[in-house]
Structure 1
């Protein structure tokens, strides 16, 4: 059995994973080459992190605009605090909702505490989906807004590893 990754290799691997898996038939082998380890060591480290609960899931970040989904909207709702967990679970599982999360209200200007992202090809399609979603969940009368995006600035997964240390030139 191979020895595990050292701390520097593990940190480098975390940074690489945050950028996504390489588009390669053997992505873990490619990562191993980049951190100076074996493919088995990389897979063992990833499994260790999974066992420790570091990963909730591994997924893809799709560039939805490039796929033709240009009508992207955030549904924001003011849900009573006692109901936000239940409503959030239901909306988060609903077809068409790509992301659902709770955030604190910022009163008095911002009363909304539940956010749902919906992507569609046409604005009208998204509006119809939201109307049906609100009706199906008895939320028609709940204060809400539908905010359509106009430009995308960044789209990637989370970044948690510290940035690489900068080398200081002597002299």
Structure 2
């Protein structure tokens, strides 16, 4: 069972900043524990590193106790949905043709209506995953919903900080 400390210790000296940042970003006082760990777990799924994913799942379970299951399931759903949507909408944005923009996406997203935690937190997690996946349209869309839902730019900032460091840790573990 990998822990965050084990993963941090596996990062070579070339990744010292990532090692230090990995602990610091997870101590956010802006985000609730559910927001923090939902973001961390979803971003670990998006970063596709097995050790990092296992460590984040274990840490989330320890930190959240009985509340862990819905947070983890929403994180899993957010990572999967954004894997699909970020590719599709990034393509639309990058190609820049009106003919594609007017076509129906035709992608099932029923899970959005079945969020287990709350809609705004789910959108925040989707925003963080979209930052990893580099979809400008999705980032802008999720940020708007998050701010309209009552969260602040500080919430967005901290979630994206978590995403950036988790992604860096995955790269560090693979290099």
Q: So what's the TM-score if we normalise by structure 2?
A: 0.27
Higher helix share: 2
Higher strand share: 1
Structure of greater Rg: 1
Task: Choose between structure 1 and 2 for higher RCO, CA contacts under 8 A separated by at least 6 residues.
Answer: 2
